[in-house]
Amino acid sequence: MKTRVISGLIMAPFLLIVVLGGYPLMAAAVLIGIVGLKEFYNGFRAMDVKPCYPIGVAAVAALYAMNVLTGTSGIHEGNFKWHVLWVFGVVLASMLYLFKIDERKLEDGMATMTGVLYVVFFSYHVVLIDQGGYPLLVWLVLITAFVTDIMAYFSGYFFGKHKLCPKISPKKTIEGSIGGTLGTMLVSGLFGYFVMPEIMVHCMIMGALGAIFSQFGDLTASIFKRKMGIKDYGHLIPGHGGILDRFDSVLFTAPLIYYYIIFVLA
């Protein structure tokens, strides 16, 4: 626990990146994409599946170069066609990777594709939020991811009696899940009240939905790790594991917040 607290304090200055937004935030998203993808693929290699990391890196470069060169400001606008083209390219490259049929298995191509869409594309939504009409809601991505984790931990510690998903994550409880959701909805409401009062109710709704998606993200990462036979994706952050261990919930909350913006707030 002490190590986790120290690591959390070390990571705190990185919140400055969210304050700056723009290219610093994009650079952080690129880093998460590249490092997180490497960790994800290493997990597959532990079970003798061999995804293609160079395809993943090329996909990261293409996605963010497209963003900069086309002046993208959201999937829902004129650049939609570029994002569709990028997804097509990722799927195509992953399938072409299988052409050395004697050396590669179907799982190699599927893992390549899954990693790019799951780690790279999901995390990219943080940048899309920053470039849209509600850049301050990037904070809500972090609130719904990290506050849920904290509130669920303490709610489960003090009140937890009933297991949530014992075969996936034995320590998580239903009480912890409920406490995490309610706590995040409250904190999101306070964020809305002080920062974006005109959409405070929406912030509370996004907080509740984000808390649920955050837990889905955490449980999904646990499923992957259990199937891969690993405890953590990496060891980059003492007490937390790898980049992907720390940001697995963000991968689900960022798309949730973004699509709420374009379908409800826009």
Calculate the alpha carbon distances from 2 to 8, 142, 170, 234 in Å. Answer: 10, 22, 22, 19
Q: 128-163, pLDDT tens digit by residue?
A: 999 988 999 999 999 999 999 999 999 998 999 999
Rounded to an integer, what distance in angstroms lies between the CA atom of residue 240 and that of residue 228? 18
* Percent of the chain whose predicted confidence (pLDDT) is above 70: 91
Average pLDDT over residues 224-245: 85
Q: 55-94, pLDDT tens digit by residue?
A: 999 999 999 999 998 875 566 555 788 999 999 999 999 9
Is-above-0.85 flag for pTM? yes
Q: 124-133, pLDDT tens digit by residue?
A: 999 999 998 8
Residue 122 has pLDDT above 90, yes or no: yes
Average pLDDT over residues 241-256: 93
Rounded to an integer, what distance in angstroms lies between the CA atom of residue 240 and that of residue 5? 10
Rounded to an integer, what distance in angstroms lies between the CA atom of residue 150 and that of residue 4? 12
Secondary structure element (H or E) that encloses residue 138, with its range: helix 138-142
Secondary structure element (H or E) that encloses residue 260, with its range: helix 250-260
Question: Considering the chain, what is the average pLDDT of its residues?
Answer: 91
Residue 222 has pLDDT above 60, yes or no: yes
Q: What is the pLDDT of residue 13?
A: 66
Q: 108-119, pLDDT tens digit by residue?
A: 999 999 999 999
